[in-house]
Structure 1
Amino acid sequence: MNLKQTLAVVGVAVGMAAQPLFAADINWDMANEYNDTSIHAEGDKIFSAKLAELTGGAIKITHHFGGSIGFKSKDQLDAVGDGALPIADTYVGPLGGIDPVFLLPSLPFLAKTPEEARKLFEAARSGYEAVFADNNQKLLWASPWPPSGIWAKKPVGDLEALAGLKIRTYDANGTITLQEANAAPIQLSWADVVPQLSTGGVEAVLTSAEAGANAKFWEHLDHFTEVNYAMPLNMVHINLDTWDGLSPEHQEAVMAAAKAGEDHVWQSVVTRVGENYAQMQAEEMTVVTDVDPAFLAALLEAGQKAREEWLVKTGDVGKAILDAYMSN
């Protein structure tokens, strides 16, 4: 079921489940640094529509996509914890400086399929929940990005093509990995990527086909190389005081709506890559999928340092998460 179909089903049901106990009007601003056409924005819209249904319109969410409310992902944990925002959908890689557990989803070549990414999230869910709780927040759900590849003005299919390339990375793991591969990585928030492409500050971007298509990267770049580097996560989190101020019935409704948003994104990500590739090819981009296994092996080796550093930082907690992931 696509987004329009899902929203239509939700719309038909609006009001049917409403009960008199949902009387108060609650208005939340919800931040998301990514475009309103992104897969994560779709999940947010499903969440707010379902929440309106379940509460008879008592809880209303105003979405702020594309960073339009003024917060980048790296700022959103503090903003929600402090109450400047009641709720946000955040790419968690930039939060690795707050707690290294947030760098788990982007460990290179650890989770390369939706099934692996969800299994990895479930193995670490309690760890994420604990960090959010320590920062006066509650984790509602997580949603994946499709696998990361390399957007550039040329095919990037070997280490020679990567050498010295000014490439945007989205967190410390990517920076370490690409440094080890002799590229020239620059870590940037999403809102800064297109301006840097426009001025030549970066020549290439490590991100998914999804993210690049939403930002119309074909206006600056004409090749995408499928390396399936990682499937990073966005997480939706709510201020704990806001959560505690809800009635039990409203809390139940929030969690049910969160499940609807989460399920939609995890289901959609399975077919999203093919849809992205079709759109990119329609824009006359070259999509390279038959990547030399030797290049992928070299990138895997380059990522070893990032994996080792993550385990040092997380200690027994990180080892337990990886052991649980590998054993399932």
Structure 2
Amino acid sequence: MILTRRTLFLAGMAAPALVRPARAQARWQMTTAFPDSNFHTRNNRLFIEEVQAATQGRVQIQLHPNGSLLPMPQIKRGVQQGQAQIGEILLSAYGNEDPFFEIDGIPQLAGTLAQGRRLNELSRPYIEARFQRQGLSLLHVVAWPNAGFFSNATIDTIEALRGTRFRTFSAMTNRFATLVGANPTLIQAAEVPQAFATGVVNAMVTSASTGVDSAAWDFTRVYTPVGFTRSRNAVFINRRALEALTPADQAVIRAAAATAETRGWQMAEDSIVANEATLAQRGMNVARPTPALLEGLERVSQELTREWITRAGEDGARVIAAYRG
């Protein structure tokens, strides 16, 4: 076969078409356990919009909120196995897998925004390293607003929790309930209203944001914000899926994630006043914590911190020492 100039020209024109399938759009699934109304989910939708716009549609992400694709306990494994490419979890809910993930779930350890940021700064490298070893890449971490007790009776001392049927969402909250004499039951966020309606639980500790999401005024009368935790949600990606993109598109995702983290922490702070106001408008008593309650919580916090360091080992002791120092 004689290769004429025309043949070579046509072959050159066809070459881009031959490689085009390798540059096909990435169509990803993202799974989270939180509802559309939650500020974490709203933040993630903005993240998705920014990624899709900046990649000019080369990366498409479909978000599945409220545990509709995978429930919270299955999300991390689901992303590792490729059932979804991106996932969001409450880190402290994975304490049974690795005690280090519970650090921001220790009661009263980081109750303010400044304390939460400091704890995040110190502990994040350890979390990133753990995710990397499991084929995951951490994208962004966003704290929840400060948390408090939802109940029907006033909680003015730690002893008032004794005997309650207490909703828990992690190993740490389960241990807290046990220490104060409550009866713990693990309930996922999407199942909270039904659990209260059926009498499975009658008290819980969570943020005002989750209280609004679950319409807590339908089943409780009092909210007592105590700065219980600044627990964090982690958004992460299957590393193979990320590395299959061009370096430019990987950089886009990293940049959008950094923006989402900054925005998310501000959204968490902004939501405190708004959500507490919503609870009050719906007829709930937003009660300020008594000194006796805070003193009792501090005693329990000291015990839980000691227990956590024992489980988390050298990494845990190192972070707590730096945080307190």
Contact 1:95 1:102 in 2 (8 A): yes
Cα distance in 2 for partners of 1:259, 1:230 equals 23
Residue 49 of structure 1: CA displacement? 1.3
Contact 1:177 1:305 in 2 (8 A): no
Contact 1:86 1:242 in 2 (8 A): yes
The aligned residue for residue 11 of structure 1 is none
The CA deviation string for residues 294-313 of structure 1, in whole angstroms up to 9 with x for no partner, is: 11111221233321121011
Cα distance in 2 for partners of 1:135, 1:78 equals 9
Runs of 4+ in 1 over 4 A off after TM superposition: none
Identity of aligned residues (%): 28
Q: TM-score, normalised by structure 1?
A: 0.89
Cα distance in 1 for partners of 2:49, 2:77 equals 26
Cα distance in 2 for partners of 1:75, 1:104 equals 21
The CA deviation string for residues 258-311 of structure 1, in whole angstroms up to 9 with x for no partner, is: 01211111112222110001111111111112x211111112212333211210
Residue 172 of structure 1: CA displacement? 1.6
Contact 1:146 1:272 in 2 (8 A): yes
The CA deviation string for residues 30-85 of structure 1, in whole angstroms up to 9 with x for no partner, is: 1110111112112201211111221112211111111111x122211111111111
Q: Secondary structure at the match of 1:157?
A: coil
Residue 250 of structure 1: CA displacement? 0.8
Contact 2:99 2:312 in 1 (8 A): yes
Cα distance in 2 for partners of 1:155, 1:66 equals 30
The CA deviation string for residues 74-127 of structure 1, in whole angstroms up to 9 with x for no partner, is: 211111111111101111122111111110011111111122112111101111
The aligned residue for residue 192 of structure 2 is 193
- Calculate the aligned-residue CA RMSD, in Å: 1.7
The aligned residue for residue 275 of structure 1 is 274
The CA deviation string for residues 231-257 of structure 1, in whole angstroms up to 9 with x for no partner, is: 111000101111121110111000011
Cα distance in 1 for partners of 2:133, 2:54 equals 29
The aligned residue for residue 243 of structure 2 is 244
Contact 1:94 1:170 in 2 (8 A): yes
The aligned residue for residue 100 of structure 1 is 99
Matched letter for residue 168 of structure 1: R
The aligned residue for residue 48 of structure 2 is 48
Q: Secondary structure at the match of 1:251?
A: helix
Residue 178 of structure 1: CA displacement? 2.4
Tell me if 1:26 matches 2:26: yes
Cα distance in 1 for partners of 2:268, 2:107 equals 19
Q: TM-score, normalised by structure 2?
A: 0.90
Q: Secondary structure at the match of 1:126?
A: helix
Residue 189 of structure 1: CA displacement? 2.1
Contact 1:114 1:269 in 2 (8 A): no
The aligned residue for residue 320 of structure 2 is 322
Tell me if 1:302 matches 2:300: yes
Contact 1:180 1:303 in 2 (8 A): no
TM alignment of 1:80-229, pairs within 5 A: 80-229=79-228
TM alignment of 1:48-87, pairs within 5 A: 48-69=48-69, 71-87=70-86
Q: Secondary structure at the match of 1:200?
A: coil
Q: Which runs of 5+ in 1 are unaligned?
A: 1-22
Residue 24 of structure 1: CA displacement? 3.5
Contact 2:30 2:84 in 1 (8 A): yes
**Quick check: which has more Rg, 1 or 2?**
2
Contact 2:196 2:202 in 1 (8 A): yes
The aligned residue for residue 288 of structure 1 is 287
The aligned residue for residue 16 of structure 1 is none
Residue 230 of structure 1: CA displacement? 0.6
Residue 325 of structure 1: CA displacement? 2.2
Residue 194 of structure 1: CA displacement? 2.0
Contact 1:99 1:131 in 2 (8 A): no
